[in-house]
Chain A
Amino acid sequence: MSSRRTTPIPVGILAAVGVAFLAIPLVGLLLRTPWSRLPELLSSPVALQALRLSLVCSLSATVIAVAIGVPVAWVLARSAVPGTTFVRALVTLPLVLPPVVGGVALLLAFGRRGLIGQFLYDWFGVQLPFSTAGVIMAEAFVAMPFLVITVEGALRSADPRFDEAAATLGASQWTVLRRVTMPLIAPALLAGTVLAWARALGEFGATITFAGNLPGVTQTMPLAVYAALDGDRDAAIALSLVLLIASLAVLLLLRDRYLRSAPS
């Protein structure tokens, strides 16, 4: 904490510029918010549908990301399987890929003429595009890398000797994982989960490309914002504000929990 007093002046100035650059657009949004119309705008059926859908989809996508992302992170960090470098690059790709490209890729794989999607459609009559399941899939696709990267980093830095010690004391593999490894990485797991959730909540490009845009079925908050931008700008700003506040609240909460439980 003593370093706080000795921040070099150039660093301080650049930091101020950095903060201003990130914060000023948000201030712009706040200044343009039609506060008096807010209750009316946010209680419109389209807004409520989008809110509900965004919550359902982003939470489902987060559950999927955790359920299959943590095992991926564990394999990448701990196993000696060859080719992990390539797999790591592959699973982090959605992080840097333009989301629209992700959406096109999903369409080519899971669309009704897609690689796998054609069998889903022909055998079971399942068409993922234009469905809520499609939205969840698109969101999980872009959000999972955040979880994998965060958890893998924690697994790498966690000392494996704790696991070994537990194992020599007679704990089964499952017990070690549950009682030693997971508690050690719990803060990172929480951070990764929340980051993935926030990314899923804000997902736009992959969703509109893969799942389309229908109120109540696939139109999440970011899609509703985009649709409203061309017509009712006030509605778009009101919806953006909700997204902004939700994300900010989560990040504040996360920061607090994460810092308190971090050992240093």
Chain B
Amino acid sequence: MRSVRTMSAIALIGTIGLAGTACSSAADSTASSSTTQRATITVGAASSLTDVLASIAAEFTKAYPGVSVQFSFAASSAVAEQIRGGAPLDVFASAGTTSMAPLIDERLVTGAVDIATNSLQIAVPPGNPAAVAGLADLAGVKVVICQEQAPCGVATAKLFDHNSLAVTPVSYEPDVRSVLGKIEADEADAGIVYVTDVLSAGAQVVGVAIPAEANVTTTYQAAVVSASPNAAEAATFVDFLAGPEAQAALAGAGFAPAP
């Protein structure tokens, strides 16, 4: 009986908490709509851009108070599918060019620009217990990588291929997040993820650099969705992504500038 009561108390606290956040966000949107709002653009973006795009959007709204930006994050391939299916997106920001290129060919997006590049890094637990100093050390240690169906897995396969490495991982993880999880728990000695992932993981993961000539680079692109009813605002946002404020934010997150 007592446990039931405790449970309902916990549930109640949870509900109040949720209601609190719901109220505050409702208040926020009322406040912003009372200003002279002209357009809201929705950006469909690769999950790896989640943190950095939020801060870029804040900068953008400061520069263009009339336009507000909201996001829908998913795997680039999933966002591309959404655009094909007619989802109400205004901008597509993709990781890699494989999802973007067919959309350009099908004229579903226009004005694609390169906004940044990302490359791979070896992630190791703090203290680097297996003393991994480079790609050559991956042969004898417990390595976790992304599964070949995930974009990071494709890049990792390319990396191993490019360097003629035969690495047998102990696990193919579904995504970057789970690779980092295994490193954070110190279950694996090394993992292959993007430079930006190591940076966002914090102190529990340390990066070991891969020399540029051995590395694999992924180019991030942004484009205006052709069917967008806010094409002008969308184009402004895409331009902004290539501009100095956004480029500074991208650099801060570990992205390299587009060539």
Binding site for B on A (CB under 8 A): 85, 89, 107-108, 111-113, 127, 129-130, 208-209, 212-215, 217-219, 226-231
**A107 lies within 8 A of B142 (CB):** no
Known: A212-B144, A230-B150, A231-B149. A113 touches B185 (CB 8 A): yes
**A218 lies within 8 A of B171 (CB):** yes
Binding site for A on B (CB under 8 A): 3, 142, 144, 147-150, 169-174, 178, 181-182, 185-188
The distance in angstroms between the C-alpha atoms of A29 and B147, with both chains bound, is 24
- B142, B144, B172, B173: most-surrounded residue (chain A CB, <10 A): B172
**A130 lies within 8 A of B170 (CB):** yes
Known: A89-B3, A208-B178, A213-B147. A227 touches B172 (CB 8 A): yes
Q: Which residues of A have CB within 8 Å of B174?
A: 208, 213, 226-227
Name 14 extra pairs, CB < 8 A, besides A129-B187, A228-B149: A89-B3, A108-B185, A113-B186, A208-B178, A209-B178, A209-B181, A212-B144, A212-B182, A214-B172, A226-B174, A227-B149, A227-B172, A229-B149, A231-B148
The distance in angstroms between the C-alpha atoms of A215 and B3, with both chains bound, is 43
Q: 6 tightest A-B contacts by CB?
A: A212-B171, A230-B149, A130-B170, A231-B149, A129-B187, A113-B186
Q: Which residues of B have CB within 8 Å of A112?
A: 186-187
The distance in angstroms between the C-alpha atoms of A85 and B6, with both chains bound, is 15
Q: Which residue of A lies closest to B182 (CB)?
A: A212
Smallest Cβ distance from A129 to chain B, in angstroms?
5
Smallest Cβ distance from A204 to chain B, in angstroms?
10
Q: 8 A-B residue contacts at CB 8 Å?
A: A89-B3, A108-B185, A112-B186, A113-B185, A129-B187, A209-B178, A217-B170, A226-B174
The distance in angstroms between the C-alpha atoms of A227 and B150, with both chains bound, is 9
Secondary structure at the B interface, as helix, strand, loop or mixed, is: loop
**B187 lies within 8 A of A130 (CB):** yes
Smallest Cβ distance from B80 to chain A, in angstroms?
14
Q: Which residues of B have CB within 8 Å of A219?
A: 172
Known: A231-B148, A231-B149. A214 touches B187 (CB 8 A): no
**B185 lies within 8 A of A111 (CB):** yes
The distance in angstroms between the C-alpha atoms of A123 and B220, with both chains bound, is 47
The distance in angstroms between the C-alpha atoms of A230 and B150, with both chains bound, is 7
**B185 lies within 8 A of A213 (CB):** no
Q: Which residues of B have CB within 8 Å of A89?
A: 3
The distance in angstroms between the C-alpha atoms of A108 and B188, with both chains bound, is 14
Smallest Cβ distance from A50 to chain B, in angstroms?
13
Q: Which residues of B have CB within 8 Å of A226?
A: 174
Q: Which residues of A have CB within 8 Å of B3?
A: 85, 89
Q: Which residues of B have CB within 8 Å of A127?
A: 142, 187
Q: Which residues of B have CB within 8 Å of A107?
A: 185, 187
Q: Which residue of A lies closest to B148 (CB)?
A: A231
Q: Which residues of A have CB within 8 Å of B148?
A: 231
**A214 lies within 8 A of B171 (CB):** yes
**A214 lies within 8 A of B170 (CB):** yes
Smallest Cβ distance from A165 to chain B, in angstroms?
35
Q: Which residues of A have CB within 8 Å of B181?
A: 209
Q: Which residues of B have CB within 8 Å of A230?
A: 147, 149-150
Q: Which residue of A lies closest to B171 (CB)?
A: A212
**A213 lies within 8 A of B150 (CB):** no
**B170 lies within 8 A of A212 (CB):** yes
Smallest Cβ distance from B57 to chain A, in angstroms?
28
The distance in angstroms between the C-alpha atoms of A66 and B188, with both chains bound, is 32
Smallest Cβ distance from A208 to chain B, in angstroms?
7
The distance in angstroms between the C-alpha atoms of A130 and B147, with both chains bound, is 15
**A227 lies within 8 A of B147 (CB):** yes
The distance in angstroms between the C-alpha atoms of A194 and B171, with both chains bound, is 30
The distance in angstroms between the C-alpha atoms of A130 and B3, with both chains bound, is 37
Q: Which residue of A lies closest to B172 (CB)?
A: A213
Smallest Cβ distance from B48 to chain A, in angstroms?
16
Q: Which residues of B have CB within 8 Å of A212?
A: 144, 170-173, 182
Q: Which residue of B lies closest to A226 (CB)?
A: B174
Q: Which residues of B have CB within 8 Å of A108?
A: 185
**B186 lies within 8 A of A213 (CB):** no
The distance in angstroms between the C-alpha atoms of A213 and B146, with both chains bound, is 10
The distance in angstroms between the C-alpha atoms of A209 and B181, with both chains bound, is 9
The distance in angstroms between the C-alpha atoms of A130 and B170, with both chains bound, is 6
The distance in angstroms between the C-alpha atoms of A35 and B178, with both chains bound, is 34
Smallest Cβ distance from B2 to chain A, in angstroms?
10
